[in-house]
Amino acid sequence: MKIYKTSEIKNIALIGGAKSGKTTLSEAMVFEGGGINRRGTVDEGNTLSDYREIELERQNSIFSSILYAEIDGKKINIIDNPGFDDFIGEVVASLKVADTALMLVNAQNGVEVGTEITWRYTVKYNSPVIFVVNQLGHDKANFDETLRQLKQQFGEKVTVVQYPVNAGLGFDTVIDVLQMKMLKYPKEGGKPEVHDIPAEEMPKAEELQTKLIEAAAESDEALMEKFFDAGTLSEEEMQTGIKMGIAKRDMFPLFCASAKENMGTAPLLNFLANFAPLPTDLEPYKTTNGKELHYKIDNPPCAFIFKTSIEPHLGEVSFFKVLEGEITEGMDLVNTATNTKERISQIFAIYGKNRTKLEKAVAGDIVATVKLKDSYTNNTLATAKNSEDVIEPIVFPEPKFRTAIKAKNAADDEKLGSVLKRLRNIDPTIIVEHSVELKQIIVHGQGELHLNILKWQVENLDKIEIEFITPKIPYRETITKPAKATYRHKKQSGGAGQFGEVYMLIEPFIEGKTDQTEFPIRGRDEIKLNWSGKLIYHNCIVGGAIDARFHPAIIKGIMEKMEEGPLTGSYARDIIVNVYDGKMHPVDSNEISFKLAGRNAFREAFKNAGPKILEPIYDVEVIVPEDRMGDVITDLQGRRGVMMGMESEGNYQKVKARVPLAEMNKYSTALSSITSGRATYSLRFLEYQQVPPDVQDVLIKAYEAQEQEEE
C-alpha cells in the first residue's frame, strides 16, 4: 500500500443517531474506493464494520470501526461510530482524532436526539461538520422537513450542496448545485450519470447555488469583497471559500444519499477528497504543558492512542493518530504517562476486521499496532527527546447507570476483577468501583444496554457467569441534637479481665458552631473523614478518670461505629464527641476495653440524638421532545424529584430536576420507554439531603431485619 503524505490524508468520523445508516454508508465508501469488490449488508451480517459476534447478533454497531478508502490520490480514513447514546464514548474518542464529522440524518425521522447529542460533541471539539441526509429512498423520506429541522436546530450555516428530485420510493436523482448538474443513479447505484438541470428545476437550483456562493464568500473577507464587486465567485475562489468555510465551521454542507442502494456515495467521496480539511488545516493538538503539535514530518515522532480493542486472532490492538514525525516498524517509543518503553512491532492500515501492513505512518495518519505492553486509550507515545509531551486527554461523559456485579461462582472473583480491569482499559466510559462502604463491586456505564453488553462479553468471551444485582445506596447518618450515654465494658473470664467505662456527650457538628460549655475541653482532635464530613473529639476528662493513653482507643471505637452507622450500617458524619468522665481498673483496663466502651457509648448516644439518614441527591438534566415533556416531568416527580426549571434547546426541551439516587435505578430504561427512545439525560452528584421520615423508617426496619437474618 502507498505511504500517503500528510497533504493526502483526510480523517472522517461518521456520526449520527441509531439506524441512520452509518455502517451502510461506510461500506459503500470503501467499495467506491476499491477496497472491496462487493458491498456487505447489516442484514446479512457481512459488513466490514460490524464484524464482532455481539454486533452480528444484535445487527447494530457497538464499537467504532476504522476503515479507509483511496480515491483521487487521497487516503480517507473513516471511523464508523455506533449511534446509541450508551456508546457515546466511541463517538467522543473518534471526534478527538477526526478532522471532519460526517453527520448522517435519517430522512424519515429528521433531527433526532442522537443528532443532538453528537452535535454537542462536534461543538466541544470544534469539529467541521458535513451533513448527509440518508435513506432518501424510503417511502416516508421527507427531505424538505429534514432540511427545515436542520436549519432550525443548527442555523443557516447548513448549506445545501445537493437536493433530491424524487425523494421516496424510486429515489435516484439529485441536483448538485456546486456542479450545477443533475445526477441520475443507475438502479444498482454507484457512479451517477451527469445531465443538465431540467428547466423546471433551474430556478430552485440557481437560488441554492447563490446561497452556496454567499456562504463560500462569507468565510473570508477578501472573497466577500470580490463577491460584492462581481456578484459571484470564480470556480477557484468558490472552492477556496468552501474549504475555508468548512474548516472554520462557517459552513455545514449538506448532501443527499441512499446508502443502502449506494446512491450519493461517489460524489460525497469526491467532495471529501477535494474539500474536507487536511489535518494541517485545523487547530493544532496541544499538550498538557501548552506545547502545540503541527504535524511536522521532521519533528520527533509523537502519537496519541484514541482507542484500544481486543480483536480476534490479533489480541490487543491500539489505534493511534500520528501527530508529529514518522513512526516506523520496529521503532521504540515512550509512554509519556508512565515513562515505560513500547516497541511498535507492526503497523497496520485497518478496514474493519481486515488490515494492510505498513512500513511506516506519517503525521496526520490513523493506523494501528498490536500488543503494546502497558499503553491504552488516552496515552501519548513519543521518543526520549519529547517524552514530556502528554496530549490533552479525551474527556469522556460521566456515567449515567450503575449496577452491582458479582460472579455466580465465588472462585471466579479474582478472575472477574482482572477481566473488568481489561474492559475498563478498552472502554474508559466503564467505571469499576470496589466499594468498601457498600461491600459491592459497582460498575458504572452510560446505560443499561451498555452494561448488558459488558455482561455479554464477560459471559461469552471470558466464560465467567455473572449476575447484576441492585446496587446499595451510599447513605450517610448523622444527628440533629445533643445526647448523652454511658457504657461500661466489663469482662471476667479467669486470668486478666477487661474493664472500661466511658461517659460521653455527642452533638451535631455545624461549621462555625460554638463549643459546648457544660464540660471543660482539655484536648481536641479534628478528624476529616474519608467519606466527607468530620468527627470532632473533645477530651473533657478532669482528675484523671481516664488515662490519656486510652483516648486513641476510644476514638478508634467511635470510628469503627461511624464506619458502620447505627441506623443502616452506612457511614456517619459531622458529629462532635465530648468524653467527660469514666472509670478505669488498675489491672483490667486496657485499650480493647476502652475501644469497646467508646464504641457502644457512641452507639447508644447516637440513637437518642435525633438521628437522621442522609441520601445522595443528583442534578438530573433530561433533553426531551416537547410532546413528551409532561410524561418525563410526571415520572421524575414520582421519583421524589424536585423540578428546578425548563429551557428550550432547539427542537427539544431541557428539564432540570434534583432527584435522589435511590430513585434513579434503571432510569435510562424507563426514560427510553416513556419517550420511545427520543430522550437522553445526564446526572451529576449534588449533595446529601435528609430522607423523608417515612423513607427513613423503611430503611431502618430493612436494616434491622437484615441484621436479624445474619445473626
SS (H, E, C) 84-136: CHHHHHHHHHHHHHCCEEEEEEECCCCCCHHHHHHHHHHHHCCCCEEEEEECC
Residue type, 152: Q
Sign of the Cα pseudo-torsion (92, 93, 98, 102, in order): negative
DSSP state of 610: -
Domains and CATH numbers, the chain: 6-193+251-281 (3.40.50.300), 285-386 (2.40.30.10), 401-472 (3.30.70.870), 477-610 (3.30.230.10), 613-694 (3.30.70.240)
What is the distance between the alpha carbons of residues 473 and 659, in angstroms, rounded to a whole number?
A: 13
Q: CB under 8 Å, gap of 24 or more: what pairs does 33-38 form?
A: 33/68, 33/69, 33/70, 33/71, 33/76, 33/269, 34/69, 34/70, 35/67, 35/68, 35/69, 35/70, 35/351
Cβ(372)–Cβ(342) below 8 Å:
yes
What pLDDT does residue 625 have?
A: 85
Cβ(216)–Cβ(251) below 8 Å:
yes
Phi, psi angle pair for 307, to nearest 5°: -155, 140
What is the distance between the alpha carbons of residues 100 and 246, in angstroms, rounded to a whole number?
A: 9
What pLDDT does residue 494 have?
A: 67
DSSP state of 663: G
What pLDDT does residue 156 have?
A: 94
The residue length of the chain stands at: 711
Q: Is 487 helix (H, G, I), strand (E, B) or coil?
A: strand
Q: 3: Cβ–Cβ under 8 A, 6 or more apart, which residues?
A: 358, 359, 360, 361, 362
Q: Is 83 helix (H, G, I), strand (E, B) or coil?
A: coil
Q: Nearest-CA neighbor of 607 among 485, 476, 518, 475?
A: 485
What pLDDT does residue 131 have?
A: 98
Which regions of the chain are under pLDDT 70?
494, 650, 710-711
What pLDDT does residue 227 have?
A: 82
- Indicate the burial class of 484 (C-beta count within 10 angstroms; 0-12, 13-18, 19 or more): middle
What is the distance between the alpha carbons of residues 427 and 307, in angstroms, rounded to a whole number?
A: 8
The C-alpha R_g of the chain, in whole angstroms, comes to 32
Phi, psi angle pair for 607, to nearest 5°: -65, -20
DSSP count for the chain of H helices, then E strands: 16, 38
What pLDDT does residue 230 have?
A: 82
Phi, psi angle pair for 615, to nearest 5°: -125, 150
Cβ(96)–Cβ(79) below 8 Å:
no
Q: Which helix (H) or strand (E) is 667 found in, with range? A: helix 667-675
CA torsion angle for 285, 291, 292, 296 (degrees, to 10)? -110
What is the distance between the alpha carbons of residues 453 and 429, in angstroms, rounded to a whole number?
A: 13
What pLDDT does residue 312 have?
A: 75
